[in-house]
């Protein structure tokens, strides 16, 4: 028997979550963001659940090729645009729309030979200071692009630094409007947090939800995935491979990091940090055993972790342990809760699912 660990990608949940994003921005078209191999879900596996999107947004050119190989003829947007001049050849060949965020990318376009002019998304730096033209450079960049025969349509884009937090998007949005108000072209401004929290008030022709589509709340713990009506897109489940009773004073795992203060029943689970489970997750990180909520004990090791079975007397070798996602009995453990316990985000956990974990879809 293969080692009892398995990830499952929930096709219906992806579809449902995409519909939630659509409902939050009913007048906008929706890019399903599938960068980082669909946030660890696998582009090919996620595609079926996401094919009702209006387009796919990603940043690796290889991933764009994979989406075209799936037969997708609709829009594909490269969120970081070309990384060098030669990338524009692939954009021409596969009809990829691409972000333009710096002068070098305009230089490459100006030198690019193509029969089909490109659609580009001109990015404004609205405060993140990673990519995009500063407000005082933006309009001259637009004018320069607009004069190029290689460009046929210019859309306007920015990415918010604070859509998930208390600062919100008002200031960045004011800046975007001030700089772009009289420029023609479609607008795209919203990631998941902005789509769910702010889209109703924003003039945006396209939204770009990523994390929400995979069933994680972009603004946890202010909201939980269930508050937004999102369902887990991925379940990571393993089984108990050992069960034992330990007396008060016994320790569990490396470094004796957990010491029982009473007699306990514990289980050993076939999941460790080499599977992508976060090593930093401390004692008390939530898990489901046969769909019943419990907690981890002691340090996570490479191939195993331990859980508390004291309150789950029916648990036995072979019992299902849900590390995140949906248990067989329907109980849900949000990836956001596990991530918060490990001082990270659902984003990082789903992207870090290890290669050695077998994945199926349902
Ligand atoms: C990743 C990304 C998104 C999606 O962000 P989420 O927080 O996952 O919704 C949207 N826009 C850009 C430019 C991105 O890089």
Query: How do residues 29-43 score in pLDDT, each as one tens digit?
Result: 999 999 999 999 999
Confidence of residue 3 (pLDDT cuts 50, 70, 90): very high
pLDDT digits (tens, 9 = 90+) for 62-78: 999 999 999 999 999 99
* 159 Cβ inside 6 Å of ligand 1: yes
Query: Residue 103 has what pLDDT?
Result: 98
Q: How far, in Å, from the CA of 130 to the mean position of ligand 1? A: 13
- Domains of the chain, CATH where assigned: 11-216 (3.20.20.10), 234-361 (2.40.37.10)
DSSP labels for 242-285?
Answer: EEEEE-TT-EESGGG-EE-SS-EEEEEES--GGGT--TTPPTT-
Q: What is the mean pLDDT of the chain?
A: 97
Give the angle subtended at the CA of 45 by the CAs of 44 and 48, to the nearest 5°: 90
DSSP of 173-228:
HHHHHHHHTT--S-EEEE-HHHHHHHGGGS--SEE---GGGGT--TTTTTS-GGGG
Are 356 and 5 spatial neighbours (Cβ–Cβ below 8 Å)? no
> What are residue 51's phi and psi, to 5 degrees?
-70, -10
> Which positions ≥6 away from 126 have C-beta within 8 Å?
132, 158, 159, 160, 161, 172, 173, 175, 176
Tokens 């005082």: give the residue: 136
Under DSSP, the state recorded for 305 is: E
pTM: 0.97
Contacts (Cβ under 8 Å, ≥6 apart) of 330: 291
Contacts of 69 (CB under 8 A, 6+ apart): none
Whether 35 sits among the annotated catalytic residues: the reply is yes
Please tell me the distance between residue 166's alpha carbon and the centre of ligand 1 in angstroms. 18
Ligand 1 neighbourhood includes 288 CB (under 6 angstroms): no
């Amino acid at each position: 028997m293969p080692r009892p660990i398995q990830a499952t990608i929930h096709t219906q949940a992806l579809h449902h979550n995409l519909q939630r994003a659509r409902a939050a921005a009913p007048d906008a078209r929706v890019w399903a963001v599938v960068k980082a191999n669909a946030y660890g879900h696998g582009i090919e596996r996620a595609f079926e659940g996401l094919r009702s999107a209006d387009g796919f947004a990603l940043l690796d050119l290889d991933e764009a090729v994979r989406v075209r190989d799936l037969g997708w003829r609709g829009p594909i947007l490269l969120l970081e645009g070309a990384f060098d001049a030669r990338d524009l050849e692939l954009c021409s060949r596969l009809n990829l729309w691409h972000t333009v965020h710096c002068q070098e990318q305009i230089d490459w376009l100006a030198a690019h030979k193509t029969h089909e002019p490109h659609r580009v998304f001109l990015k404004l730096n609205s405060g993140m200071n990673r990519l995009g033209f500063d407000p005082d450079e933006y309009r001259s960049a637009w004018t320069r692009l607009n004069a190029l025969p290689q460009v046929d349509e210019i859309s306007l884009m920015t990415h918010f630094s604070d859509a998930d937090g208390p600062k919100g998007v008002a200031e960045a949005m004011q800046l975007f409007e001030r700089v772009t108000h009289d420029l023609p072209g479609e607008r795209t401004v919203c990631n998941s947090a902005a789509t769910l929290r702010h889209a109703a008030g924003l003039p945006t022709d396209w939204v770009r939800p990523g994390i929400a589509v995979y069933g994680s709340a972009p603004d946890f713990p202010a909201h939980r995935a269930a508050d937004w009506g999102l369902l887990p897109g991925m379940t990571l489940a393993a089984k108990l491979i050992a069960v034992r009773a330990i007396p008060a004073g016994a320790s569990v795992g490396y470094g004796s990091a957990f010491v029982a203060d009473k007699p306990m029943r514990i289980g050993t689970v076939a999941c460790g940090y080499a599977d992508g489970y976060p090593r930093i997750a401390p004692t008390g990180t939530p898990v489901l055993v046969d769909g019943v909520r419990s907690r981890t004990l002691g340090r996570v090791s490479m191939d195993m972790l331990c859980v508390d079975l004291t309150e789950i007397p029916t648990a036995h070798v072979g019992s299902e342990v849900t590390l995140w996602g949906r248990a067989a009995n329907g109980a849900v453990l949000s990836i956001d809760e596990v991530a918060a316990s490990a001082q990270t985000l659902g984003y990082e956990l789903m992207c870090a699912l290890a290669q050695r974990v077998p994945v199926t879809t349902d």
